[in-house]
Structure 1
Amino acid sequence: MTQEKIIVPANGYLMLFIFALILFGSIAAIILTKSPWFIISILSAIILAIGFVMVQPNGSRVLLLFGKYVGTINKNGFYWVNPFYSKKKISLRASNFDSERLKVNDKLGNPVMISTILVWRVENTYKAAFDVDNYENFVRVQTDAAVRKLASMYPYDNFADEGMDEDITLRSSVNEVSAALEKEIDERLSIAGIEVLEARIGYLAYAQEIANAMLKRQQATAIVAARHKIVEGAVSMVEMALEELGKKEIVDLDEERKAAMVSNLMVILCGDKDASPVVNAGTLNH
């Protein structure tokens, strides 16, 4: 037997009635007949009582007879089985596992802190009970291994100065990374009969030793991007101003004065602080 076998044992309430009948009947017979032979019947009833088993909803019992797998009860109820069966309880409920924060290197070699949240349940009781030593510990170890592998496959973020143009990153591609993580963990846990219901990144950040440097780097990248937009808009505004002045013939500017005007406008539009206007009370040449 290498696969799970679902069995439906005898009704526990019927066997409870037979147990009570034998037990109390034997006690009554001893009192009435004074015969010690009915003690054997009492011992038989006690042995029968060992076979009672109760299975709760989303629970199961794996049955063994002297080391041989007999089957699994996965339907809730009150049952009776062979008293010599050993009964191993395995929960079929969904379990939640929040891994520890691991320090791993991403695709670029940057140390990051990462953890995962995993929702899983036992799908095959035979594999969970006999193919691995401890299926709960197996889930923890293999999940950590899958997270380490996943973190090394993707960069934390994209940086233009490194020539990286990754479509998927740990920080921005949450859905894609979670799908890859779920697939990786599911492949690892299938040997233990574990079904992965959901897997996602629970915590993600740069390691403490590089966190400040990476924060400054992200801020610098954001500033450069903002400056690029500002300059792009300023050039467009200066171009529009010169074009409108030329169309309406408000003032006739030579190339030198156009250059001075462009310079002044660019300083005003691209400066960090508000410009202080200076009123020219003389001519255009002074």
Structure 2
Amino acid sequence: MSNEKTIVPANGYAMLFLFIILFLGGIILGFLFKNPLPFLGTIIGLILLPGFVLVNPNGSRVLLLFGEYIGTIKKNGLFWVNPLYKKSKISLRARNFDSERLKVNDKMGNPIIISTILVWRVSDTHKAAFDVDNYENFVRIQTDAAVRELASKYPYDNFADEGLDEDITLRSSMSEVNVALEKELDERLSIAGIEVLESRIGYLAYANEIASAMLKRQQATAIVAARHKIVEGAVSMVEMAIDLLNKKEVVELDEERKAAMVSNLMVILCSDKDATPVVNAGTLNH
């Protein structure tokens, strides 16, 4: 529950006019009439001076009186408050935070390097000022903790030989991972009155000590998957060729010649290089 109180103090321009009258009027009248009594207005003006507060757009001032929270000024402009108030400035603007690249372990224990980009702003000045010691430092530490927590929940990639059946991985499911990261950060930073506007993974890679091995592993997995597709297509094409030959009765093939034809077609279709044909100038039997 928020304890923030938004207040609109006295108009600063009216008090500025009063300050000029008291300060300058006291000096002028004091020297004009050579009487110390008008200087009392100058002293009162000096007492009023610390009460002026300027609030810029998307800025705020948190007011305290001897340790007691009075309220927060969020309206921009020139205002005047009790000169005894302590006025703390808190920006309400959106801010970017690019975290450091952290070395963490994913769900499978593989070391990875990961960082995040966070867009945030203060939504509750009372929580930001009093519920945490330093809300900016709090954002940095909790962001790093959230990234470590997120990395431990998902594998970097999905490899069949590890027996994984994960729909979400850090590498291939960036949208889902970013949503989970934003939810995790929102829960952690809400205690400090911080609103998470956007969060996403800024950098993701294997750690240097396993990067080369994992790259070879990814390449091998891709090659195996590609070969699997090629074999499926080749078998389908061979089957279609034999069916068409039989259907149109172009040539009659016994089982031995059919096996030889299948073998030749599979070599041609599955080879990673162009096949070099050998033309038989004799008969089928020689």
Structures share a fold, TM > 0.5?
yes
Question: Structure 1: 5+ residue runs without aligned partners?
Answer: none
Displacement after TM superposition at 1:125 (Å): 0.5
1:68 aligns with 2:68: yes
Q: Which moved more, 1:137-146 or 1:247-256?
A: 247-256
Counterpart of 2:129 in structure 1 is 129
* Equivalent residue runs for 1:200-279 within 5 Å: 200-279=200-279
Q: 2:183 maps to which residue?
A: 183
Q: Deviations over 1:209-241 (max 9, x none)?
A: 111111111111111111111111111111111
CA RMSD of aligned residues (A): 1.1
Q: Secondary structure at the match of 2:252?
A: coil
- Aligned equivalents of 2:144, 2:77: Cα separation in 1: 37
SS at 2:228 equivalent:
helix
What letter matches 2:49 in structure 1?
Answer: A
In structure 1, the residue matched to 2:59 is: 59
Deviation at 1:32, TM superposition (A): 2.4
> Per-residue deviation at 1:40?
2.7
2:253 and 2:25 map into 1 onto residues whose CA distance is 122
Letter in 2 for 1:175: S
- Name the SS for the 1:50 alignment partner: helix
CA distance in 1, matches of 2:227, 2:24: 93
Aligned structure 1 segments of 4 or more residues deviating by more than 6 angstroms: none
Q: How does 1:93-132 map to 2 (within 5 A)?
A: 93-132=93-132
Matches of 1:7 and 1:249, distance apart in 2: 94
Q: Which amino acid aligns with 2:229?
A: K
Range that drifts further, 111-120 or 23-32:
23-32
SS in 1 for 2:196: strand
C-alpha displacement at 1:41, in angstroms?
Answer: 2.2
d(CA) in 2 for partners of 1:250, 1:181: 64
Secondary structure class of the residue paired with 2:60: strand
1:3 CA drift (Å):
1.2
Distance across 2 between alignment mates of 1:193 and 1:279: 81
Q: Name the % identity.
A: 77
Partner of 2:80 in structure 1? 80
Measure, in 1, the Cα distance between the counterparts of 2:248 and 2:73.
Answer: 91
Q: Deviations over 1:240-262 (max 9, x none)?
A: 11111112222111111111111
How many residue pairs match? The answer is: 285
- Partner-residue secondary structure (3-state), 1:96: strand
Superimposed CA distance per residue, residues 62-106 of structure 1 (whole angstroms, 9 cap, x where no aligned partner): 111122211110000110011111110000000110101111101
Counterpart AA for 1:187: E
Normalised to the residue count of structure 2, the TM-score between the two structures is: 0.97
In the aligned structure 2, how far is the partner of 1:250 from the partner of 1:120? 74
| Alignment partners' CA distance in 2, 1:74 and 1:176 | 36
- Cα distance in 2 for partners of 1:32, 1:246 equals 125
What's 1:33 paired with? 33
Q: Any stretches of 5+ residues in structure 2 without a counterpart?
A: none
Once residues 125 and 72 of structure 1 are traced to their aligned partners in structure 2, the CA distance between those partners, rounded to angstroms, is 7
Could you tell me the TM-score, scaled by structure 1's length? 0.97
Choose 136-145 or 61-70, whichever is displaced more: 61-70
Q: Distance in 1 between matches of 2:27 and 2:272?
A: 100
What amino acid sits opposite 2:212 in the alignment?
Answer: N
